Structure 1
Amino acid sequence: MAKQYWIGSLKRGDSVLDFFAAQDKALATTSDNRRYLRLRLGDRTGWMSAVAWDNGPQLFEAFENGDIVRVMGEVEEYRGKLQIRVHKLRAATPSDRLDAADFLPSSRFPASELVRRLDGVIEQVANPWLHELLRRLLGPGGLLREAYGRTSAAREVHHAYLGGLLEHVLEMVDIGLTLSRLHPEYANPDVVVTAILLHDVGKLYELDQQGHGFVYTREGELLGHVYLGARLVEAHARAIEHFPDDLREELVHCVLSHHGSAEHGAPVLPRTMNAWIVYLADEASARLNQVRRLYERVDAGGGPGDGWSEYDPRLGIRAYTGFTRSAPEGEPPGAFQPDSA
């Protein structure tokens, strides 16, 4: 059965009758002691919060996290964000004949292209110890290679789709190498690239795919991906004979400090040029992806209209996309011409 309504194109006031992936179901209680259902609904275009005020306990038992559900409801705005008010819900059955690809958000780049680009980046790392570490973990037949190319970079903030982690780190490599060229006396491109490729490997243990979404593992909740990644990098660097202590220490420091501040979850602050470059590349890639997702939702017909996106509480803005549509294709009549003399 073909989907008609996509999360990315829903607008306030839309009536919805369609299938979505369901995640994060929970029963909550109103101020007058009524039980209601909260959940997230998603498809390959994104995720949206949802609430069912009536029959909460019954609807809670009607499906499991990761299931596809058929929803009747309407789109409303709550605290500046869109959500779906659910009136009816049931779990999908085989007779619904759904296309699983409709419910798995994925990178806009083919997986084979991302992996090919990853191999090219690893090949350019000249330092023999760093090259060997990357080969063992991410190269062909590497310990993490299969999961690394498949997993999401986050549950919902940025690059939150299949292949999102690999797309994210490849963006970071381009940014990191550019920043390294600005300060060649103090930046080491091999350290920067290796730290970028490994800075989020802890997410392979922090997140797990459940049905048609990603959930936190127990060790992910208890330890977090920053520590899990630093522990893994430390252990595998030590397993390489004669791996220099200073090189291992700075690499682990880059992983531990890549969130930039204690407020954002970094146990230590960046204290080397290479660590600062990794942090800034991570921040730039993540934020631009958040803005891109707002643009994509507007392009798909979402948002309030007139080129504005919905409000993003993490960025603290509504993005304006109108200038991308008004830009002239060629030189406008009467354009200013600089004096060639």
Structure 2
Amino acid sequence: MTKIGDLKEGQKIAGRFGVTKKDWLKEYSRGKFFRIEITDGDTKIPLKFWGSPLNSRAAELYDNLRPGSAVDIEGNIVYDNYDNCLTVSVNEDGNKFRICAPGEVEKTEFVKKTEKNQMQLFAYVQKEIEGIKNEHLAALLNAIFADEHIKSQFIESPAAKEKHHAYLGGLLEHTCNVMKICSTLCEIYPELDRDLLITAAILHDIGKIQEYSVDVVIDISNAGKFLTHTYISIEIIENKLRQIPDFPENLKLKLYHAILRHHGRWSSQETIETKTSWVIPEACALYYADDADARIKNFLQHIEEGKKHGENWHFIKDFGSEIYIEDEDD
């Protein structure tokens, strides 16, 4: 199969790819066309399908596509002046576009997996749990990970649909990184409640085991769209707390506060309201630990993407600026 990251303008592309986004269906001078995004598991690229003027299948194909579909295509790599990026162009009259049947493609064919040893990562989590001295928090963590379904999902789930740690095992990898940052903060600031902070770090994204679904590509589940992972995390914890008698109410509220505010609180101007976001220092620490790992990982992933294109500077839409990749003189 052609690797998207190796393609240049003017080249042909052929093979089977996963659909990550379904954007829109529109009219043009010769009929209808639609735009989707496809991936080979490493790189994503927009695709535009141009329907023929007679008996076009564009609307029918578009209706039958969804994120998670697999498509078998032949097309051309063009530079799209409207979107200012390389795009796959598929013409109904001269190219191939087929939606693969269910079961024709492995569920994880276009989903990457962490390069780290997942069993070693989870062993680190277990070791930290064993070090929790607060009997109530230790009981909660043990109850959660005694559930084999939760444990297996926690080890295998992605941390995102895109951006940071968007691959199988990404949730576990991200969680371990946040735990390590929080542990370091506890060494710098011994006044922090280490047991509370490490517990919050372990559980802050536990809801992502239900927020994301993996079926050909990573997508957001119905539960994720309706509730988000922060609410789901609280629900998972609440269900296990019912098994633990006499769990202190104030301790529960502190844990919930840290988890619910680990993305901060945003104003209408999309600026973080740090003065009113947290009422305990552990919540503040968790926010910055989570944010640091997510942003740095995202940055490093963009650098790797820029290297694929042989660039010294790579424009990142999310950042609104270019980032430096590397130079032969470095």
Unaligned segments of structure 2, at least 5 residues: none
Superposition map of 1:142-291 within 5 A? 142-185=148-191, 187-209=192-214, 211-263=215-267, 269-291=277-299
2:17 alignment counterpart: 20
Does the 8 Å CA contact 2:155/2:172 hold for their aligned counterparts?
yes
Secondary structure class of the residue paired with 1:274: helix
Query: Aligned AA for 1:208?
Result: S
Q: Percent identity?
A: 26
Cα distance in 1 between the residues matched to 2:242 and 2:101: 50
Q: Are the structure 2 counterparts of residues 261 and 32 from structure 1 closer, same or farther at C-alpha, using a change threshold of 3 Å?
A: farther
Query: Does 1:103 pair with 2:105?
Result: no
1:40 alignment counterpart: 37
Deviation at 1:238, TM superposition (A): 4.4
Cα distance in 2 between the residues matched to 1:27 and 1:177: 46
- Match for 1:133 among 119, 136, 140? 140
Quote the RMSD (CA, aligned, Å): 3.1
Query: Does 1:74 pair with 2:77?
Result: yes
Deviation at 1:39, TM superposition (A): 1.9
Secondary structure class of the residue paired with 2:19: strand
Does the 8 Å CA contact 1:114/1:167 hold for their aligned counterparts?
yes
Deviation at 1:194, TM superposition (A): 0.9
Cα distance in 2 between the residues matched to 1:5 and 1:162: 20
Deviation at 1:35, TM superposition (A): 3.4
Deviation at 1:82, TM superposition (A): 4.7
Deviation at 1:201, TM superposition (A): 1.6
Deviation at 1:159, TM superposition (A): 1.0
Does the 8 Å CA contact 1:270/1:279 hold for their aligned counterparts?
no
1:60 alignment counterpart: 62
- Normalization by structure 1: what TM-score? 0.80
Query: Does 1:86 pair with 2:56?
Result: no
- Normalization by structure 2: what TM-score? 0.82
Query: Aligned AA for 1:176?
Result: C
1:296 alignment counterpart: 304
Query: Aligned AA for 2:298?
Result: Q
- More displaced stretch, 254-263 vs 35-44: 35-44
Deviation at 1:276, TM superposition (A): 0.7
